C-alpha cells in the first residue's frame, strides 16, 4: 500500500502521507516540477537500479536547461536513491525523483530558491490500480492529431511536468478512439514518440526508431539500441514518415516500467504475429540485462547493497 511507503525529502525520510506541498506552490500551479522515473529489479545480488547514473545525468541536464538549482550532488543523490529503496524493503519496482518549488507563487516566474528534492519508491503491482500489462497480448496504437512539442517552443529534452500535457492530450484522444496508446508526429509530419513512450519499428529484420532532435533522449530507447547492436540486430535512427508505420513487420513501444511493449494493432491494421520475433528477442535480452544475467551489461546495474 502506498501509505506504507517511506519518502525521502531533502535528506530526511518521512511517511508517505506527510509528503505534501501547498496547492498554490509554483510547481503544482505552474508545472515546474522536474523529475526522473527509474526502475529497479531483482537480481542474484539483491535489487539493482537500472542505469542510475544516466538518469541522474539527465536530471541535472534538465535542471541546467531550465536555469534551476539543486543543492545535492549526483553522488549523494545516488546514495539517497539506494537508501530509499532499502527503507521501503522492496525487491523490485519503480523510483520517481521529483524536484520542485514548494513556495506559494502567483507569478509565472519561479521563486529564486533552490528546488526541494524528493524520492518515491513503489511496487506498481501492490501500490497502483489498473496495472494490467501482458507482454504476449501487446497493445493497440492510434496516430494522434496532436503533434509533439516543437524544439523551438520549449526544451523538449527536459523532463518537466508542464511538457507532459502534450502526451496526456494525445493519450486521451487515443482512448476516445478506443486505442490503448498514441503515437505523435512531430510538427514536420514525421513519427516522433508516444505519450510517454519511444517508438520502434522492424522492417526486413532491421530495427528503426526516430532520430534524436525532435524527441526526448530516452534512456530505455538508448539501451535498446545498444543491446540490439550487441546481438547483431541492425539498427537505424532516422526520420520516419507515418506511412512507414503501415509498412512495418513489427512495432513496439518502450518506456521505463515496461522496457518492450509489443503493438498488435496500428490504427485499423493488425499484425499477424504479436509479439514478432525481433520484438521478442529484444524483450528477452532486456529481461536478462535488468536481472543481471547478461554480464556484458552489468555496468548498467547499480546494486542497492
Tell me, what's the pLDDT at 130? Answer: 58
Percent of the chain, pLDDT > 90? Answer: 95
Tell me, what's the pLDDT at 185? Answer: 98
User: If phi over 0 gives left and psi between -120 and 50 gives alpha, with beta otherwise, what is residue 204?
Assistant: left
CA distances from 44 to 40, 56, 124, 125 (A): 13, 25, 21, 21
Summarize pLDDT for 183-236 with one digit per residue, the tens. Answer: 999 999 999 999 999 999 999 999 999 999 999 999 999 999 999 999 999 999
Percent of the chain, pLDDT > 70? Answer: 99
Summarize pLDDT for 92-135 with one digit per residue, the tens. Answer: 999 999 999 999 999 999 988 899 999 999 999 889 875 667 89
Summarize pLDDT for 276-288 with one digit per residue, the tens. Answer: 999 999 999 999 9
Tell me, what's the pLDDT at 1? Answer: 82
Q: What are phi and psi of 155, to 5 degrees?
A: -70, 100
Summarize pLDDT for 171-185 with one digit per residue, the tens. Answer: 999 999 999 999 999
d(CA 138, CA 134): 6
CATH 2.40.50.100 applies to domain 2-127: no
Q: Which three cell numbers stand for residue 18?
A: 506527510
Tell me, what's the pLDDT at 92? Answer: 96
Instruction: Give the residue from 24, 52, 60, 96 showing the smallest Cα distance to 303.
Output: 52
Q: Where are the domains of the chain?
A: 2-127, 139-290
Q: What are phi and psi of 95, to 5 degrees?
A: -120, 135
Q: Which residue has the cell 491494421?
A: 269
Architecture of domain 139-290: Alpha-Beta Barrel (3.20)
Find the mean pLDDT for residues 36-58: 98
Amino acid at each position: 500500500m502506498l501509505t506504507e511507503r517511506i519518502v525521502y525529502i531533502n535528506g530526511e525520510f518521512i511517511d508517505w502521507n506527510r509528503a505534501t506541498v501547498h496547492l498554490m506552490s509554483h510547481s503544482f500551479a505552474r508545472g515546474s516540477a522536474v523529475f526522473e522515473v527509474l526502475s529497479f529489479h531483482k537480481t542474484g545480488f539483491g535489487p539493482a537500479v537500472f542505469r542510475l547514473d544516466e538518469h541522474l545525468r539527465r536530471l541535472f541536464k534538465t535542471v541546467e536547461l531550465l536555469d534551476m538549482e539543486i543543492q545535492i550532488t549526483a553522488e549523494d543523490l545516488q546514495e539517497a536513491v539506494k537508501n530509499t529503496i532499502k527503507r521501503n524493503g522492496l525487491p523490485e519496482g519503480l523510483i520517481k525523483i521529483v524536484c520542485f518549488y514548494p513556495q506559494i507563487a502567483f507569478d509565472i516566474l519561479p521563486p529564486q530558491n533552490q528546488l526541494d528534492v524528493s524520492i518515491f519508491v513503489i511496487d506498481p503491482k501492490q501500490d497502483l490500480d489498473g496495472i494490467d500489462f501482458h507482454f504476449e497480448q501487446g497493445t493497440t496504437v492510434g496516430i494522434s492529431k496532436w503533434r509533439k512539442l516543437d524544439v523551438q517552443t520549449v526544451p523538449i529534452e527536459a523532463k518537466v511536468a508542464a511538457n507532459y500535457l502534450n502526451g496526456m492530450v494525445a493519450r486521451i484522444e487515443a482512448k476516445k478512439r478506443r486505442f490503448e496508446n498514441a503515437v505523435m508526429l512531430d510538427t514536420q509530419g514525421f513519427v516522433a514518440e508516444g505519450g510517454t513512450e519511444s517508438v520502434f519499428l522492424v522492417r526486413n529484420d532491421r530495427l528503426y526508431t526516430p532520430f534524436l532532435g525532435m524527441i526526448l533522449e530516452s534512456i530505455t530507447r538508448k539501451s535498446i539500441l545498444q543491446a540490439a547492436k550487441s546481438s547483431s540486430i541492425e539498427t537505424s535512427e532516422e526520420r520516419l514518415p507515418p506511412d512507414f508505420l503501415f509498412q512495418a513487420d513489427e512495432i513496439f513501444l518502450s518506456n521505463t516500467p515496461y522496457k518492450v511493449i509489443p503493438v498488435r494493432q496500428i490504427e485499423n491494421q493488425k499484425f499477424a504475429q504479436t509479439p514478432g520475433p525481433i520484438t521478442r528477442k529484444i524483450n528477452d535480452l532486456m529481461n536478462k540485462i535488468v536481472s543481471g544475467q547478461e554480464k556484458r551489461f552489468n555496468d548498467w546495474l547499480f546494486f542497492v547493497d
